[in-house]
Structure 1
Amino acid sequence: MARIPSASLAAMCIAATFGMAASASELVYRPVNPSFGGDPYNSNHLLGTANANDRFKDPNAVDPFDLIETDPQRQLEQALRDNLISSLASQASQTIQNAGPGTYEIGGTRIVISDANGQRTTTITNLDTGATSRIVAPIPTGTPGLPGGF
């Protein structure tokens, strides 16, 4: 085997090193946090990570799971109360819809119904505060329960 002198070996290594093409590119900073121009899809991940690492809890904070009613009796009472209120509101709506023009007072509420130009205007006034609401709708025509009826 032929022996290569160390000087020529060094020269070949240097020539091979400088003979290769060197490539480089600019360093580009890309922010991660969306508050500073980063990708907005990172926000949930960053918030989750921050909350997971948060060791300081608010002593006055209310756990949202404590607000859920789990007592079946109270759930039944609430469902019955909601159903009753819905039924009363429906009956009141039908009564107002079927009533003719005029002024009606129920407790601390005044209801004024007037018909003009094919429209029924219902003005509801809270007599205690003076707050008013105004509802304008077409006058119902036809027979209740049939198409085109009220």
Structure 2
Amino acid sequence: MKHRQSKGTAQIFAVMSLCGLPSAVLATNLVYTPVNPAFGGNPINGSVLLNNANAQNRHTDPSAKKGASGFKPPTALETFNQRLQSMILDRIATSVTGSIFDSNGKLKAGTVETDAFSVSIVDLGGGMLKITTMDKATGASSTFEIGTAP
């Protein structure tokens, strides 16, 4: 009987080892694939991740106006005033640019002043001009340099 048990044990071991071989043959390297599109994941996941984040977000902006999106459309009067202001600033810019260009269309050095703004153009030499605009009310200024064609 011992002979049969050892033969049965050997058969079971042989069957188990044969069952384990296919899994070893089919094994491959593990490759990490990110889920978030910001880190190389599939772009289709972006809306799902954003919707999940918004659904879990319990914080609200206290300064947000009432409404689902927090956006309050401007009134007709506000829209009119914005357009009027844009048109006036456009006219001022047009008149200022008319006085800073010569008859050939090239910028000329000098300063142009309005009630609210000052535009200064300085010739740096070598075909470079430095333009500084300043808000007289606040003192805020912006400066940039440009190259002029010879």
> TM-score scaled by structure 2?
0.49
> TM-score scaled by structure 1?
0.49
